């Protein structure tokens, strides 16, 4: 019973779509880290510099101003406010994550757009279906030429395709 369970699980786990999904998740996680680094280390610093040396990850609203650090100091950063145990809304981190999401969504959109374009190109390059030169005899269901006026198998008179009436013979 246990052996059949493991065999069934192995069959499930080794299906192409499960393996493809696993690869997609792993690549997606790695891609997410790249985009997060792009946002935090490349995109946001120049934006912060333009807005007066603002570090977005440290932007927050302190919902509990009575919480202070040891010695009565008021927290000056998000980390200090959290260390003091203050309830905070970390809107700067939210802005970073929002930009992160928008960049990932843009990359996925562009990827899907390229894949769709390649699929349309393949469809356009596909040859048109070749028109059959034969048809079925309505009496014996054998294959006969479209232009035939008599079936070569059962000798029944048939109407040639594209003509008004069969040839008299």
Residue ranges of the domains in the chain?
2-131, 132-169
Beta strands in the chain (DSSP E): 61-62, 88-89, 134-136, 143-145
- What are all long-range contacts of 147-155, with beta carbons under 8 Å and residues at least 24 apart? none
Those residues with Cβ within 8 angstroms of residue 126's Cβ, 6 or more apart along the chain or in another chain: none
Q: What is the pLDDT of residues 27-85, one digit of tens each?
A: 888 988 988 888 888 888 898 888 888 888 888 998 988 888 887 888 888 888 888 88
pLDDT band at 103 (very low <50, low <70, confident <90, very high): confident
pLDDT band at 163 (very low <50, low <70, confident <90, very high): low
Q: What is the CATH number of domain 2-131?
A: 1.10.1200.120
If we measure between CA atoms, which residue out of 46, 72, 48, 74 comes closest to residue 59?
48
Q: What is the pLDDT of residues 107-137, one digit of tens each?
A: 888 888 988 898 888 777 767 777 888 899 9
Helix H or strand E encompassing 151 = none
More confident residue, 166 or 51: 51
Q: What is the pLDDT of residues 141-151, one digit of tens each?
A: 889 998 888 99
More confident residue, 8 or 168: 8
Contact indicator for 135, 144 with CB cutoff of 8 Å: yes
Contact indicator for 53, 44 with CB cutoff of 8 Å: no
- 132-141 burial by CB neighbour count: b if 16+ within 10 A, else e? eeebebeeee
pLDDT at 166: 46
């Amino acid at each position: 019973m246990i052996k059949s369970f493991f065999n069934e699980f192995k069959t499930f786990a080794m299906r192409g779509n499960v393996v493809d999904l696993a690869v997609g998740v792993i690549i997606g996680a790695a891609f997410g880290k790249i985009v997060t680094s792009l946002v935090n280390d490349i995109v946001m610093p120049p934006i912060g510099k333009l807005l007066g040396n603002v570090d977005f990850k440290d932007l927050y609203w302190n919902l509990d101003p009575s919480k202070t650090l040891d010695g009565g100091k008021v927290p000056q950063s998000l980390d200090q406010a959290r260390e003091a145990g203050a309830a905070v809304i970390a809107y700067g981190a939210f802005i970073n994550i929002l930009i992160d999401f928008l960049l990932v969504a843009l990359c996925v959109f562009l990827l899907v757009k390229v894949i769709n374009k390649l699929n349309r190109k393949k469809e356009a390059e596909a040859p048109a279906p070749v028109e059959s030169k034969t048809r079925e005899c309505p009496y014996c269901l054998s294959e006969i030429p479209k232009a035939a006026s008599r079936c070569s198998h059962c000798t029944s008179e048939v109407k040639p395709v594209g003509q008004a009436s069969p040839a008299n013979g």
